[in-house]
Chains A and B, each alone.
Chain A
Amino acid sequence: MRHLLGIRGLTPEEALGILDEAPRYQDVADQPVPRVPVLVGRTVTHLFMEPSTRTQASFQLAAKRLSAEPLSFVPKSSSLTKGETFLDTARTLASMAPDIVVVRSAESGAPHVLAREIPTAQVINAGDGISEHPTQALLDAFTIRKHLGRIAGVRVTIIGDLLHSRVFRSNARLLTMLGAEVRCCGPPTLVPPGLDRLGVRSLLHLEEALEGAEAVMVLRIQHERMHASFIPTEREYYREFGLTGERLARTDNAIVLHPGPLNRGVEISSEVADGPRSVILDQVRNGVAVRMAVLAEIARSSPRSQRTDG
């Protein structure tokens, strides 16, 4: 796997390979010295051009636990705010010959541009615009498999702002690719067209979408991407689409996932978020292990590590 630009382009075998290897990396976290020498001498650059606390922290921790040299490029302290273009930034970065670049951007497609501009580097997409967030989808799939024992045939319901959600797009692709049955529901203004092409069934009524679900994925209402009035008020959104205990009761004792950060009382009630079926904090824990597995898998196909042994 040269890059991880999206779930699109990933084969089921590659995805399962990462999910299978992740538990070993989870064990590393329990060691007194939680570190393994997988990426010794390699630079992992975190180019975060959009604010992100948890994904960045998760990737940084993953890189450190693999003994990489982590390097941060964040817009507030870098030249992006001084008018430097993205291409200039990419070329500057290229001159430093990084091994792996983890990129987060508000622009869809930025990781692809980076992969083209820095031919020696390997790029991991940590979320680009409304397009993809592949490591989030991998950690969600990992979490579902860990709690339900399988992915194929699992009934998953995704609720919320589907239109602006890269988490939704990556998850829809990955989960259907691995054989899950994915349904979704959201305000009609926030449901993109062409969902059937993704293999996802879109339902108008939340109650119907939740019926018999084994996993419910609640998406965050993203204030920063609401440039138009897609929803009337937060209170009204909660009344129509918020995941409450009463609604959760319609499912088949489903586990509850959320990519964070939570808007309590908007897309989810505190009762559910903190309840016994919530796996939200476990997702965060799993994220580090899954990202370690992704980093190791990417490094394996680096030009620097061609195997010569037999």
Chain B
Amino acid sequence: MNTVLGNEEFRAALFRLGDLVAARAPDPLAILGIRRRGVPLAARIRRRLESAGRRDIPVGELDINLYRDDVHDRGIPRIGETRIPFALEEHHILLVDDVLFTGRTVRAALTALSNFGRPRSVRLAVMVDRGGRELPIAADFVGLRVEAGDGDMVRVRVEEEDGEDGVVMLPRGDAAA
């Protein structure tokens, strides 16, 4: 297991990501974290935006389990909780996820989102872009770019879920995953 980013570096990268969003994301902005790790990341980006002077940005969470395109290989998932406590139509949406890999999660998130309404626009922020896209999808804001091989797994760890912040890379099938 390789540590790509330790605690401190992770926080610095997340701050930079927040600053990029603060400088360039359109108004009025609302943030949606993709469950699960996108949710705490969204909350932290929001805090960074606050300290950059962009206050009162609403934040919600999106469950995309049902919208995955491999649903029928994996069995029927439990319906999760989606919380969008603002008018989608009136906002530019910043989707937040931990790792951007094939792009299928983002596609699922866009499909899910379309059932809740039509936002003015959608932007994507990810903590790590590891390459390996299978769909024409790109992130607007990236915390860290990593060159990862097909056989590697890139994991983002966040304090709220995992007890610590960091990014690790490990060979697929590693028991420590």
Could you list 13 further interchain pairs (A-B, Cβ under 8 angstroms) beyond the known A41-B72, A296-B79, A299-B76?
Answer: A21-B79, A27-B82, A31-B116, A33-B114, A33-B115, A36-B66, A38-B79, A39-B76, A296-B76, A300-B75, A305-B76, A307-B75, A308-B75
Q: State how many residues of chain A have any CB contact under 8 Å with chain B.
A: 24
Whether the Cβ atoms of A21 and B78 lie closer than 8 Å is yes
List which B103-135 residues lie within 8 A (CB) of chain A.
114-117
Q: Which residues of B are in contact with A by a Cβ distance under 8 Å?
A: 66-67, 71-76, 78-82, 114-117
User: How far apart sit A28 and B80, CA to CA, in the bound complex (Å)?
Assistant: 11
Choose among A28, A39, A305 the residue with the greatest number of B CB atoms under 10 Å from its CB: A305
List which A231-251 residues lie within 8 A (CB) of chain B.
none
Contacts of A35 on B, CB cut-off 8 Å? 115
Choose among A37, A307, A308 the residue with the greatest number of B CB atoms under 10 Å from its CB: A37
Whether the Cβ atoms of A36 and B75 lie closer than 8 Å is no
Whether the Cβ atoms of A32 and B117 lie closer than 8 Å is yes
User: How far apart sit A210 and B120, CA to CA, in the bound complex (Å)?
Assistant: 56
Majority-rule SS of A interface residues: loop
User: How far apart sit A304 and B74, CA to CA, in the bound complex (Å)?
Assistant: 10
Whether the Cβ atoms of A308 and B76 lie closer than 8 Å is no
Contacts of A24 on B, CB cut-off 8 Å? 79-81
A-B contact pairs, 12 of them (CB 8 A): A21-B78, A21-B79, A24-B80, A33-B115, A39-B76, A40-B71, A299-B76, A300-B76, A305-B72, A305-B75, A306-B75, A308-B75
CB distance from B42 to the nearest CB of A (A): 20
Contacts of B76 on A, CB cut-off 8 Å? 38-39, 296, 299-300, 305
User: How far apart sit A37 and B112, CA to CA, in the bound complex (Å)?
Assistant: 9
Which of A32, A38, A299 has a CB less than 8 Å from the CB of B115? A32
Whether the Cβ atoms of B73 and A308 lie closer than 8 Å is yes
Which of B74, B82, B116 has a CB less than 8 Å from the CB of A32? B116
User: How far apart sit A305 and B74, CA to CA, in the bound complex (Å)?
Assistant: 7
List which A132-181 residues lie within 8 A (CB) of chain B.
none
Whether the Cβ atoms of A309 and B74 lie closer than 8 Å is yes
Whether the Cβ atoms of B116 and A36 lie closer than 8 Å is no
List which A18-56 residues lie within 8 A (CB) of chain B.
21, 24-25, 27-28, 31-33, 35-41
CB distance from A90 to the nearest CB of B (A): 26
CB distance from A158 to the nearest CB of B (A): 32
CB distance from A19 to the nearest CB of B (A): 14
User: How far apart sit A179 and B151, CA to CA, in the bound complex (Å)?
Assistant: 53
Whether the Cβ atoms of A38 and B72 lie closer than 8 Å is no
Given contacts A21-B78, A25-B79, A296-B79, contact A36 B72 (CB under 8 A): no
CB distance from A299 to the nearest CB of B (A): 5
CB distance from A310 to the nearest CB of B (A): 10
User: How far apart sit A38 and B114, CA to CA, in the bound complex (Å)?
Assistant: 16
